[in-house]
Amino acid sequence: MSEYAIEVYDLVKKFNDLTAVDGITLKISKGEIFGLLGPNGAGKSTTINILLHLLEPTSGKALVGGYDIVKHSREVKKLIGLVPQETVVEPELTAEANLRLFGRLYELPEDEIERKISELLKLAELSEFRYKLAGTFSGGMQRRLAVVKALIHDPSILILDEPTVGLDVQNRTALWNLLKKINRERGVTILLTTQYLEEADMLCNRIAIIDHGKIKALGTPAQLKQSISKGFIIEIFAEQKYTKDIIALIKRKFRLESSVSGDRITVNVSEDPVDFLGKVSSELEKEKLPIVSISMHMPTLDDVFLKITGSSIRDTANNEVVSPTMRLRGR
Amino acid sequence: MHDTYALYIREMLIFKKNIRTSIGRSLIFPLVLILLLGNLGSTIRNLPAAVVNYDNGVASINFMNALESSGEISITSITNQHTALQMLANGDVAFVLVIPPGFSAASASKPNLVVYIDSSSPIASASAIAALEQTAQSFGAKLATQNIASRTGNSQAQPPSAASGALQANNAPSFSMYTNYTYGASESYKDFLIAGIVIMVTAFGSMWSGGISLLTDRQFGNLKTFLVTPINRMSILFSKMASGITQSMISGFIALGVGILDGGIVAGGAMGWIWIIVFMFLSAFGFSGIATILGARINKIEVFSLIGMAITMPMWFLSGAFLPTSTLPNFMQPFSIYNPMTYAVDAVRDVMLKGFISAANLLFYSTILIVFGAVMAVLSYIAFKQTMG
Ligand SMILES: Nc1ncnc2c1ncn2[C@@H]1O[C@H](COP(=O)(O)OP(=O)(O)O)[C@@H](O)[C@H]1O
Ligand SMILES: [Mg+2]
């Protein structure tokens, strides 16, 4: 067995003339929680579908548990539990019948299936709903059932495609805790994709930022943030006709480079910024440059994303209905 | 095998959960047909008929009175055969009865009655023939023997003339009643209809179970959850076909049960039941194949329904489930010959009405249906491999 749970080498997937995955290389260690962070259409699901051999790679190579995903897809499937993007339970089956079905598809002995059903329902805190139809469950309950369903065959790797889309804050937190527990207590390697910066930040040991099928940055959340700025980030919103003058002013007065994206100007500040915000504000006022808002924060993954791709992940993810809480600024 | 079984159980659990809607959906339409149409024949009253009586003797008057007192026929006496036939051509009367001179003479062999009947309306003509036959039987015993001889001879006896709208002259010995052989041994249109409907329910049931669930499983992503397990992909196809067959046969048996409660018969006895099961299975098998082909290729449930209807409705209509295939217009005849459903309906009808299938027919019907099933199974295997494999 390989020391890595998942190895991906120069993976490419083309749909006609669209390159959905454009030369990805990744190594995920055993026991990690690894996040693929990227906007809609970045190629996250495509990458996962290739790992499970639901799609043929155009070129490149990937190994799961040391097995080639194309040549030994059966072995690979036994090692992986998948929670797909469209969370699917069997709505017309009870919780236990859902688990039993998959136990049988993984060819487990019946007595082991029965044991696993009790154990997994307990893990998902669904024991009292054992004989209830999964279709009657709330979104959060269905998601938890889908997660433990993927664990029925004791996989060493759990892959989740956008596991918390559409969940409210409470259910999202509950699911994060469940995933952490699975990782900690069972030693299951977790690979998840997400568009949510908070999720990647909170949950993952390491993150790969993916955009247009390419990995743009890779590291721990702290590493990625420090790569932007060791200090703080000033963020100024102003009407676009003033942004040029504002940038010039900041360069002249403070010798700082700024970057702009639409009506947003960001400035990296590495020195101790005591009253820095006040100084900038008063200079802008002196020059009669109107602004909408000015604020300062520690670097977030959104800043990382902005720097790497030139646009905020929140702007890119406009196809998705993002819950209001997620639209709030990160820490 | 193991995975096919697991997926089959899943399909059947879903079926059980939705049993009312699943069975209701495949039964409601045919049941309405059996109960309404099947009983329609007996409710026809005052069917207009023209009688040209060249005899005018006591027996002929008695015959006309007897016919009229059956309550189903309203007689107009016409002196001129030509006028009467004109009325028939215009659709003013359902049939014309010509009583030849000498009918009332006390001779041992009566001259033949001649009936001209419009076969374009089988319900009306069936009921007319029933009344004519009943009356005729009380006047001439030969008729009964004649019927049975004809029955065993040919299960698909043609009415004397199949040309659409044409008039027919019947000059068989005794009476011209062999027209009613169109409907086999049982004189009831209901029995005729039940056989057709049982096959229709079975075939339609397979259209709506296996195929639709393949489509929705793909649409809602359930299929993906199966494909990421280490199963043989074909087990998905097999489980869909097997569950589709089981479910549609359950519906078929319910339809048969209702038909029997409503007065239908299975003349073939225990052996007949076995043949019914065999032919229901063969129809279900072929149509499950069609359904999974569609389910593997079509992404929208509306499109599936539309195409499914466009395939099954004409097949059903052309199979003789409703009307004898011989009453179809000439240009449609080839379609009914190349329609596998025709043979399933014929087989079940033989068993239910005649009581047996000749060995030659059995071989013929079952070969056609097995070939049909095998071709559909192979095509659905290919369709499934292309889109899911
Ligand atoms: N089966 C497919 N055929 C054609 N294009 C596809 C297919 N699947 C995905 N794509 C395209 O590939 C790109 C990446 O998609 P996907 O991997 O689903 O992104 P993500 O999961 O990151 O949102 C998108 O532009 C998408 O439209
Ligand atoms: Mg996706």
Express each pLDDT in A52-75 by its tens digit. Answer: 999 999 999 999 999 999 999 999
Helix, strand or coil, per DSSP, at residue A191: strand
- What is each CA distance from B364 to A59, A78, A283, B321, B374, in whole angstroms? 54, 49, 98, 19, 15
**Atom 26 (ligand 1): residue with closest C-alpha?**
A41
Q: Which of B3, B9, B224 sits opposite A54 (nearest CB)?
A: B224
The verdict on residue B258 lying in a domain is: yes
**Which DSSP letter does residue A133 get?**
B
Q: Considering only CB atoms, which chain B residues are within 8 Å of A80? A: 228
pLDDT of residue A230: 73
**Shared domain check, B130 and B33:** no
Which among A14, A16, A17, A18 is the best mutation to test ligand 1's pocket, defined by most ligand atoms within 8 Å of the CB?
A18
Please indicate, yes or no, if residue B376 is contained in any of the structural domains: yes
Residue B342 domain-assigned? yes
Please report residues of B whose CB lies closer than 8 A to that of A54.
Answer: 224, 227-228
What whole-number distance in Å separates Cα of residue A97 and Cα of residue A101? 6
Over chain B (389 residues), what is each successive 10-residue block's mean pLDDT?
89 87 75 68 64 84 82 82 79 78 68 69 66 72 33 34 30 34 46 84 86 89 92 92 93 88 76 91 94 91 91 84 69 82 87 78 91 94 82
Q: In this structure, what token pair is assigned to residue A226? A: 């420090």
Q: Tell me, what's the pLDDT at B272?
A: 85
Report the number of distinct structural domains present in chain B: 2
β partners of residue A260: A265
Give the pLDDT of residue A50: 96
Same domain, B235 and B86: no
Buried b / exposed e along B22-40 (16+ C-beta atoms within 10 A): bbeebbeebbebbeeebeb
Q: Distance, CA A46 to ligand 2 centroid (Å)?
A: 7
Q: What pLDDT, in 10s, does the model give residues A92-113?
A: 999 999 999 999 999 999 999 9
Q: Which residues contact A214 (CB under 8 A, 6 or more apart)?
A: A22, A23, A24
Helices and strands (DSSP H and E) totals, chain B: 16, 4
Size of interface A-B (CB pairs under 8 A): 64
pLDDT at A63: 96
In a domain, B183, yes or no: no
DSSP codes of every residue in A16-59: TTEEEEEEEEEEEETT-EEEEE--TTSSHHHHHHHHTTSS--SE
Give yes or no: residues B109 and B253 share one domain: no
For the residues of B174-205, what is the DSSP string, one character each? S-SGGGGGGG-SS--HHHHHHHHHHHHHHHHH
Nearest to B221 among A77, A80, A86 (CB): A86
* B3, B6, B221: residue with CB nearest A84: B221
On whether both B95 and B196 belong to a single domain, the answer is no
Residues B280 and B230 in one domain: yes
Q: E-strand spans in A274-330? A: 293-297
Of B145, B178, B211, the residue at which a domain comes to its end is B178
Token pair of A21 as six digits: 């995955």
Residues 6+ apart with CB under 8 A from B59: B103, B104, B139
DSSP for residue B296: H
Banded pLDDT at A7 (limits 50, 70, 90):
very high
Q: How far is the CA of B384 from the centre of ligand 1 (A)?
A: 22
What is the distance between the alpha carbons of residues B263 and B104, in angstroms, rounded to a whole number?
A: 38
Amino acid in position A80: I
- The rounded mean pLDDT for chain A is 88
Claim to verify: residue B163 and residue B292 sit in the same structural domain: no
Nearest-atom index, ligand 1, CA of A46: 17
Domains in chain A (CATH in brackets) are: 4-220 (3.40.50.300), 230-298 (3.30.70.980)
Distances (CA, A) of B335 to B75, B183, B329, B341: 38, 21, 11, 11
What residue type is B36 in one-letter code?
A: L
Residues B94 and B141 in one domain: yes
Give the pLDDT of residue B172: 32
Confidence of residue A19 (pLDDT cuts 50, 70, 90): very high
Residue with the smallest CA separation from ligand 1 atom 5 is: A15
Q: Is the CB of A84 within 6 Å of ligand 1?
A: no
Tell me, yes or no, whether B320 lies in a domain: yes
- Contact residues on chain A for B231, CB-CB shorter than 8 A: 105
Q: Which residues of B touch A92 (CB under 8 A)?
A: 13-14, 17-18
* Shared-domain flag, residues B198 and B159: no
pTM of the model: 0.74
pLDDT at A124 over 90: yes
| Same domain assignment for residues B154 and B32 | no
Shortest-distance atom of ligand 1 to CA A85: 21
Q: Is A300 in the pocket of ligand 1 (CB under 6 A)?
A: no
Ligand 1 binding pocket mutation candidate from A13, A15, A161 (most atoms within 8 A of CB): A15
Q: Residue B255 and residue B374: Cα distance in Å, rounded?
A: 26
Domain that holds residue B247: 2-39+188-388
pLDDT digits (tens, 9 = 90+) for A175-198: 999 999 999 999 999 999 999 888
Please report whether residue B162 resides in a domain. yes
Largest CA distance in chain A: 78
**Neighbouring C-alpha atoms within 13 Å toward the C-beta of A27:** 5
Q: How far apart are CA B3 and CA B5, in angstroms?
A: 5
Helix B359-388 with B340-349: angle, nearest 10 deg: 140
Q: Do the chains contact at B10 and A93, CB–CB below 8 Å?
A: yes
- Which candidate, B112, B91, B88, places its Cα nearest to that of B101? B112
Question: How far is the C-alpha of B216 from the C-alpha of B291, rounded, in Å?
Answer: 13
Please indicate whether, in this complex, the C-beta atoms of B222 and A82 are within 8 angstroms of each other: no
Same domain, B35 and B57: no
Q: Do B201 and B27 meet the contact criterion of CB atoms below 8 Å apart? A: yes
Residues of B in contact with A104 (CB under 8 A): 2-3, 5-6, 9
Q: Is A54 in the pocket of ligand 1 (CB under 6 A)?
A: no
Would you call B224 and A88 a contact, using CB atoms and an 8 Å cutoff?
A: yes
Give the single-character DSSP code of A94: B
Q: How far is CA B23 from CA A204, B8, B252, B260, B305, in A?
A: 50, 18, 9, 18, 17
- Which ligand minimizes its atom distance to the CA of A214? 1
Quote the pLDDT of residue A34: 97
Query: Atom 6, ligand 1: which residue's CA is nearest?
Result: A15
The CATH code of the domain that includes B118 is: 3.40.1710.10
- The closest of A139, A151, A96, A137 to A118, measured between CA atoms, is A96
Give yes or no for a contact between A217 and A209, defined as CB atoms under 8 angstroms apart: yes
Pick from B17, B18, B230: which is nearest to A77 by CB? B230
* Residues of A within an 8 Å Cβ radius of B: 52, 54, 74, 77-78, 80, 82, 84-86, 88, 90, 92-93, 97, 101-102, 104-107, 133, 149
The pLDDT tens digits for A266-288 are 888 876 667 778 888 888 888 88
Cross-chain Cβ contact A88/B13 below 8 Å: no
Instruction: Identify the nearest ligand to the CA of A165 by its number.
Output: 2
The residue nearest atom 12 of ligand 1, judged by CA position, is A20
Could you give the count of Cα atoms lying within 13 Å of B347 in the half-sphere of its Cβ?
Answer: 30
Higher per-residue pLDDT: A4 or B155: A4
Cα(A33)–Cα(B149) distance, integer angstroms: 84
- Inside any domain, residue B195: yes
Domain end position, chosen among B178, B207, B227: B178
If asked whether residues B31 and B54 sit together in one domain, one would say no
Residue B161 and residue B196 in one domain: no
Q: Return the pLDDT at B155.
A: 33
Tell me the residues of B at the A interface, defined by beta carbons under 8 Å apart: 2-3, 5-7, 9-10, 13-14, 17-18, 220-222, 224-231
The vertex-B262 CA angle with B260 and B268, nearest 5°, equals: 25
Q: Decide if the complex's ipTM is over 0.90.
A: no
Residue at which a domain ends, from B157, B178, B199: B178
CB A163 within 8 A of CB A192: yes
The Å distance, Cα A48 to ligand 2 centre, comes to 9
Expressed in angstroms and rounded, the spacing between residue A208 Cα and the centre of ligand 1 is 18
